Amino acid sequence: MTPIIVASGNGAKALPDGIRILRRGGSALDAVEACARYVEADVSDVSVGRGGLPNILGVVELDASIVDGTTHRAGAVAALVGFHHPISVARRVMDTPHMLLVGDGAARFAAEIGAEKIQNLTPSTRKLWIEALAAVGATPASVRRAKKLLPIVKRVIAKRLGTVNFIALDRKGNIASAVTTSGWGYKYPGRVGDSPIVGAGNYCDTIAGGACCTGYGELAMRNLTAKTAVDRLAEGMRPASVAREAIMDANALDPAPFNIVVLAADGTHASATNRAGRQYAFMDTSMTETATKARLVARE
Ligand code: GLY
């Protein structure tokens, strides 16, 4: 089988980093971590890592998870503040007796393992945050003084959702998956989405395949979308049908933007969305460039 990595569209630029690892016989786990780190460091992506949109108080809270489809070991962090690579912190959580660390505990753990500290709010995302507040007559000082944040969140929030997904199949046939995000832009502090919730936004199994979500994470949490998708692969459903069914499940709850990428254990893949014009990306070790393909659109 030819080693391959499948990604959400915003992961396209990162794929050569992961493919280099797979070409030299490296693991799917190392490949998805390397790809996720690439996007986390890319300040032009306002949905992931440094340069990701902050919460309503102007603090960038990051969520990430990584899953080893062979052992079903997983690591995740949520609402992590002040570190450059949440995916690598998540990977180190995998080596502890725990699976998910959040907030102050996640930051403490990141510091203890020597993870790189950084201010993830950039001048550009600070400006976007101030403009978003100004559009509803608020300012950084007024939100910091506010006794109740939810009314402000509801006015500011415009479902600014983005995340990056990677699923890799390596030379030995192992599958791993990684998801990393700054979550919903201008969210309520402490809001955690589907990305660090294994089974919701991210899941894989080396025997069946993997699935990862982007879009309105609450829908993936309510439907346990990624695990459901992998269960459907295990039952023999093809990736295109699995992806379409996942979007239909989300649409049945809410028409908010929702997307999925699916990779089967035989290397076939597909992606679906409920919005037109969305792409996903993939690259295998025989390719010299990343390829992108339209996501299937499922609307009912
Ligand atoms: N899917 C990313 C989020 O909802 O946080």
For residue 189, give the amino acid letter: P
Q: 219 — phi, psi (to 5°)?
A: -70, -40
In order of start, what are the domains of the chain with their CATH numbers? 4-297 (3.60.20.30)
Q: What is the reported pLDDT for 156?
A: 87
Q: Pick the catalytic residue: 70, 125, 163, 214?
A: 163
Handedness of CA 242, 276, 193, 97 (dihedral sign): positive
| Residue 208 contacts residue 77 (beta carbons within 8 Å) | no
Q: Rg of the Cα trace of the chain?
A: 18
> Of all atoms in ligand 1, which is nearest to the CA of residue 214?
1
For the chain, how many residues are written? 300
24's tokens? 């030299």
| Residue 62 contacts residue 49 (beta carbons within 8 Å) | yes
37's tokens? 């780190």
Task: Write b or e for each residue in 109-129: b if 16 or more Cβ atoms lie within 10 A of its Cβ, otherwise e.
Answer: bbeeeebeeeebbbeebeebb
Instruction: Check if 161 has its Cβ closer than 6 Å to any atom of ligand 1.
Output: yes
Q: What is the reported pLDDT for 158?
A: 66
Q: pTM of the full predicted structure?
A: 0.97
Instruction: Check if 10 has its Cβ closer than 6 Å to any atom of ligand 1.
Output: no
Instruction: Check if 162 has its Cβ closer than 6 Å to any atom of ligand 1.
Output: no
Mean pLDDT by 10 residues, the chain (300 residues): 96 98 98 98 94 96 98 98 98 97 98 98 96 94 95 81 94 98 95 98 98 97 98 98 98 95 98 95 97 92
Instruction: Check if 163 has its Cβ closer than 6 Å to any atom of ligand 1.
Output: yes
> Of all atoms in ligand 1, which is nearest to the CA of residue 217?
4
CA 75 to chain centre: 13
The owner of tokens 């309520």 is: 188
Ligand 1 mean position, distance from CA 27 (Å): 26
Q: What is the reported pLDDT for 1?
A: 86
Ligand 1 mean position, distance from CA 253 (Å): 16
Instruction: Check if 195 has its Cβ closer than 6 Å to any atom of ligand 1.
Output: yes
163 part of the active site: yes
SS (H, E, C) the chain: CCCEEEEEHHHHHHHHHHHHHHHCCCCHHHHHHHHHHHHHCCCCCCCCCCCCCCCCCCCCCEEEEEEECCCCEEEEEEEECCECCHHHHHHHHCCCCCCEEEHHHHHHHHHHCCCCECCCCCHHHHHHHHHHHHCCCCCHHHHHHCCCCHHHHHHHCCCCCCCEEEEEECCCCCEEEEEEECCCCCCCCCCCCCCCCECCCEEEECCCEEEEEEECHHHHHHHCHHHHHHHHHHCCCCHHHHHHHHHHHHHCCCCCCEEEEEEECCCCEEEEECCCCCEEEEEECCCCCCEEEECEECCC
Q: What is the reported pLDDT for 299?
A: 85
